[in-house]
Every structure is written in structure tokens, then in C-alpha cells.
């Protein structure tokens, strides 16, 4: 996923949950956003780990640790990204999440 193209805010903003829910229960909406947030967090962590593996060395000395600017730039990029919860909320608002509510008879909500 390209996190640069997502229009998620970097800071937390107040949202009207009643307008976000529509016909759906507020707890189900929060559950959907939380599950997507966990997926995004795992994706970001695995992507960051792959990029940082390139810089891993068996025997690092102190000078090499301070001189590695590329590693610092990569880490700073991921630190500046919006939090996964904000990304998932933005995806939900924009209608980019596909979810199905199971357990209710005859209710399947696909977005």
C-alpha cells in the first residue's frame, strides 16, 4: 500500500461517529477500524524491517552506527507517517474498506 497517497491527517481530530456509522452499530464500526488498523501496523512493521535488514551487519562498530544516514532517513520517514488508526479511519470514511458483518441473520454489509 502506498501510504504517501493516503489523505490521513497526522494528528488526531474529532469525528462524529454517528455520521460515520449510518445504519451500522457504532461498536461494529470501531471493530472494523481496529482490525484494519492492526493490519496496517503489521504491514508497516514488516516493510520497515525489510528495508532495515539491508543495513544489518554482523559486527557493527560505534562509528558505523552514527554514520548511516540512509537508515536514519528511512526511520524518520516511517516515524512521520500517520498512525495506523488514523489511516484505517480515513480508509473507512473514503469507503475504501471492504467488510462483511457476520453473525447477523441476513445482514452483509460490503463497502
Q: What is the pLDDT of residues 11-56, one digit of tens each?
A: 778 888 888 888 778 888 899 999 999 999 999 999 988 888 877 6
pTM: 0.74
Asked if 110 and 99 touch (Cβ cutoff 8 Å), the reply is yes
User: What single string gives the DSSP state of each residue in 62-109?
Assistant: HHHHHH-HHHHHHHHHHHHSPPHHHHHHHHHHTT-------SSTT---
Q: What is the pLDDT of residues 49-108, one digit of tens each?
A: 888 887 766 555 655 555 577 888 888 888 888 999 999 998 998 888 887 767 655 444
Amino acid at each position: 500500500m502506498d501510504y504517501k497517497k493516503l489523505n490521513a491527517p497526522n494528528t488526531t481530530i474529532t469525528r462524529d461517529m454517528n455520521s460515520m456509522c449510518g445504519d451500522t452499530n457504532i461498536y461494529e464500526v470501531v471493530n472494523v477500524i481496529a482490525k484494519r488498523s492492526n493490519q496496517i501496523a503489521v504491514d508497516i512493521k514488516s516493510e520497515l524491517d525489510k528495508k532495515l535488514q539491508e543495513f544489518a551487519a554482523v559486527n557493527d562498530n560505534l562509528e558505523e552506527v552514527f554514520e548511516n544516514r540512509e537508515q536514519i532517513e528511512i526511520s524518520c520517514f516511517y516515524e512521520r507517517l500517520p498512525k495506523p488508526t488514523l489511516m484505517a479511519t480515513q480508509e473507512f470514511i473514503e469507503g475504501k474498506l471492504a467488510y462483511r458483518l457476520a453473525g447477523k441473520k441476513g445482514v452483509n454489509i460490503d463497502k
